[in-house]
Every structure is written in structure tokens, then in C-alpha cells.
């Protein structure tokens, strides 16, 4: 294993904070918005559907309140100290790249690449960015359908982190590595 690539949302960044700001910006109770986001997750739908249900159009700035989980930056530092090539990507806008950029070797977004997970093309781009063979790349994510299954299909090592709503909804395939905190990651990598 020579490279580790992270899904940004809910793996490195606590997306709950963003949804709270969206609720505030749109005048919707936080509990209501979070319940509906949870409902879309449980139904396997995109949280974008919530905008239609509530008839809201959040300002783009409402999504710019990214905050790292407490274990994220220390994990990124430990991996880099151990010589791993470290990347971060996600279904996100280009403006979110700046938060992560100082901590990784590369960062990109679905907006920049013009393709979203779980498309196989997204994971082809991940491999192209690392410049490594699939078996040399671990991809860390919380969403079984968007992150883990396509990672395994691309021949990479899949690491499922159980956090955020999507991390708890579905069980990852048995060949995925499972962790509950990024503190565990450096020790479980092959």
C-alpha cells in the first residue's frame, strides 16, 4: 500500500455542520432538515431531494462551513509521516478543496472532474491522480454504495468508516476493512 485517498464528506469533514448552516440560511428548523436528510439516506436517495421537499434553494455559501473531525488532520499527518501518498476527493464543489489542500498531496472534487461517485469514471480519476496500481491504493469512505462498492470494483482496497448517517445504514462487503475512527487507519492498512 503506497497511497490512501479519502472521501472528504463525513470521512474527514463533519457534514452535519454544513446542514445546520443550510437550515439556518433557509429558515428551516435544524431538526426538520436533519430528519429529512436522514430519510433520504435511509431511502438511498440524494440529500438534494430535501431541497425539493422543503421548496428551498440554499445559498452556496451555506455549504462553506466545513470543519474537520478531530481525528482527521492527525491521521493525515501520520500517514504522510509514514510515507504514504495522501489524497482527498468527494462529491463536492471546487470551493471545498481549499480546506483540505494543505494536508494532502492532491485534492479534487466532482465539480472539477465533472463526474460524481459512484461512477466508475470517478474512481478511474482517483487512480490516475495517484499514479499507482489499484491494489496499491486504499480509498476511505463512509457510504457503502458511493464509496466502498465502487472502490472494490476498481480493484482498490476499500476502508469503510462507520460515521455520519451513511456509515451506519448499510453493512460493507466482507472484503472491506472496517474502522470506527481514523485513529485506527494507519494500523489496519495492509
Q: 56 with 107, same domain?
A: no
Q: 28 with 83, same domain?
A: no
- What lies within 8 Å, CB to CB, of 43 at 6+ separation is none
Q: Which long-range contacts (CB under 8 A, 24 or more apart) does 156-162 make?
A: 156/123, 156/126, 156/127, 157/1, 157/189, 157/190, 159/185, 159/188, 159/189, 161/10, 161/11
Domain limits for position 154: 3-14+66-188
Q: 54 with 90, same domain?
A: no
What pLDDT does residue 9 have?
A: 87
Q: 28 with 119, same domain?
A: no
What tens digit of pLDDT does each residue of 71-96 get?
Answer: 999 999 999 999 999 999 999 889 88
pTM over 0.75: yes
What pLDDT does residue 2 have?
A: 95
Q: 141 with 52, same domain?
A: no
Nearest Cα residue to 163 out of 149, 150, 137, 144: 144
- Spatial separation of the C-alpha atoms in residues 6 and 170, rounded to whole Å: 19
Q: Are 63 and 21 in contact (CB under 8 A)?
A: yes
Q: 164 with 72, same domain?
A: yes
Q: 75 with 53, same domain?
A: no
- Judged against a pLDDT cut of 90, whether residue 109 lies above it is answered with yes
Q: 43 with 10, same domain?
A: no
Q: 184 with 105, same domain?
A: yes
Q: 10 with 81, same domain?
A: yes
Torsion of CA 109, 111, 114, 117, to 10 degrees: 50
Q: 78 with 160, same domain?
A: yes
What tens digit of pLDDT does each residue of 6-34 get?
Answer: 999 889 988 888 888 889 999 999 999 99
What tens digit of pLDDT does each residue of 111-163 get?
Answer: 999 999 999 999 999 999 999 999 999 999 999 999 999 999 999 999 999 99
- Residue 43 pLDDT level (bands cut at 50, 70, 90): confident
Q: What is the CATH number of the domain that holds 167?
A: 3.40.50.1000
Domain count, the chain: 2
Amino acid at each position: 500500500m503506497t497511497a490512501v485517498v479519502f472521501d472528504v464528506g463525513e470521512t474527514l469533514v463533519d457534514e452535519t455542520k454544513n446542514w445546520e448552516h443550510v437550515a439556518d440560511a433557509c429558515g428551516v428548523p435544524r431538526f426538520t432538515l436533519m430528519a429529512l436528510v436522514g430519510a433520504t439516506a435511509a431511502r438511498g436517495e440524494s440529500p438534494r431531494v430535501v431541497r425539493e421537499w422543503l421548496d428551498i434553494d440554499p445559498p452556496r455559501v451555506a455549504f462553506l462551513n466545513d470543519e474537520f473531525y478531530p481525528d482527521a488532520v492527525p491521521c493525515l499527518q501520520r500517514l504522510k509521516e509514514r510515507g504514504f501518498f495522501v489524497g482527498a476527493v468527494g462529491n463536492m464543489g471546487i470551493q471545498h478543496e481549499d480546506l483540505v489542500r494543505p494536508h494532502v498531496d492532491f485534492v479534487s472534487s466532482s465539480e472539477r472532474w465533472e463526474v460524481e461517485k459512484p461512477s466508475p469514471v470517478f474512481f478511474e480519476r482517483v487512480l490516475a491522480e495517484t499514479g499507482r496500481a489499484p491494489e496499491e491504493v486504499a480509498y476511505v469512505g463512509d457510504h457503502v454504495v458511493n464509496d466502498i462498492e465502487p472502490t472494490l470494483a476498481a480493484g482498490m482496497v476499500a476502508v469503510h468508516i462507520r460515521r455520519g448517517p451513511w456509515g451506519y445504514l448499510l453493512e460493507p462487503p466482507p472484503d472491506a476493512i472496517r474502522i470506527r475512527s481514523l485513529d485506527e487507519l494507519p494500523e489496519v492498512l495492509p
